[in-house]
Amino acid sequence: LASNIGVAKNKIREKEPIVWEILQEVMQGHPVLLNRAPTLHRLGIQAFQPVLVEGRAICLHPLVCKGFNADFDGDQMAVHVPLSLEAQAEARLLMFSHMNLLSPAIGDPISVPTQDMLMGLYVLTSGNRRGICVNRYNPWNRRNYQTKKSDNNNYEYTKEPFFCNSYDAIGAYRQKRINLDSPLWLRWPLDQRVIASREIPIEVHYESLGIYYEIYGHYLIVKSIKKEILFLYIRTTVGHISLYREIEEAIQGFSHACSYGT
């Protein structure tokens, strides 16, 4: 790929796609050590499985900041790469962050949610979850939701839109078409069960082609004339969708790490 070191540096400087692929292959399953000076206790240096991101800044997980005593005011961290098999084994068995969940001084949990995390979770999940009974309009209306302009030049949303997947919903939020706590209807996989306290639908709406909608408090079911379930929509918000995606990615990453370790 490169005849000499100078050509290789030029490829890295120009950010060619092949460089990214090579880095991902080299770092696959290879831990790195992060050290924040001064190293006052054992948790000042920990091992991590790196994830390549764009930019020149190190993205650190918030749960390990307390061990490093990091406060994001311009702290610098050194990155060390263990080369020998013995060093890699020591990093995996003794220095990985999930192996250092307790404080070595007093034994209390050190990887606990901080006030910022709790406030963020509250903001994500504090949307309108009172159900459709409080709304005066038909919640199953599939027409494009309308917006009206208020006195403070902000748009108030009077319809609950339907989305086929979470990517469309988050895209609409980034385009400022909906708010973080705006209620919406998201298509849900039929093989995933929806847990609800109400067994009898609140309303049933019929269309001319025989399709009808069974509307519950927080979800609705679209059925055919043969009473077959066609679609399932849940009533949620962009904040709940974002939290669900983060949890899903964390579970998938943990499963991948376990399968790689075995």
Q: What is the pLDDT of residue 254?
A: 76
Name the 3-class secondary structure at 237.
Answer: coil
Beta strand pairing status for 219-223 and 229-236? antiparallel
Cα–Cα distance for residue pair 13/40, rounded to 1 Å: 36
Low-confidence ranges of the chain (pLDDT < 70): 127-158, 196-198, 257, 260-262
Q: What is the pLDDT of residue 129?
A: 55
Q: What is the pLDDT of residue 136?
A: 44
Q: What is the pLDDT of residue 151?
A: 46
Query: Cβ neighbours of residue 137 under 8 Å, at least 6 residues apart?
Result: 158, 159
Other residues' Cβ atoms within 10 Å of the Cβ of residue 246:
11
Q: For 53, how many CA atoms within 13 A lie in the half-sphere containing its CB?
A: 9
High-pLDDT (> 90) share of the chain, %: 3
The secondary structure of residue 181, as a DSSP letter, is T
Letter for the amino acid at 128? Answer: N
* DSSP states along 97-148: GGG--B-TTT--B-S---HHHHHHHHHHT-S--S-GGG-SS-TT--SPPPEE
The secondary structure of residue 53, as a DSSP letter, is -
Radius of gyration of the chain (CA): 25
Cα–Cα distance for residue pair 169/186, rounded to 1 Å: 8
For the chain, the residue count is 262
H-run or E-run covering 253 = helix 238-261
Quote the Cα angle for 193-198-203, to 5°: 105
Domain covering 31-112, topology: Barwin-like endoglucanases (2.40.40)
User: What are the residue ranges spanned by the domains of the chain?
Assistant: 31-112, 122-244
Quote the Cα angle for 129-139-154, to 5°: 70
Query: What does pTM read for this prediction?
Result: 0.60
Q: What is the pLDDT of residue 130?
A: 56
Task: State pLDDT tens for residues 40-67.
Answer: 788 888 898 888 887 777 788 888 888 8
Cα–Cα distance for residue pair 157/127, rounded to 1 Å: 14
> Is-contact 36 87, C-beta < 8 A?
no
H-run or E-run covering 186 = strand 184-187
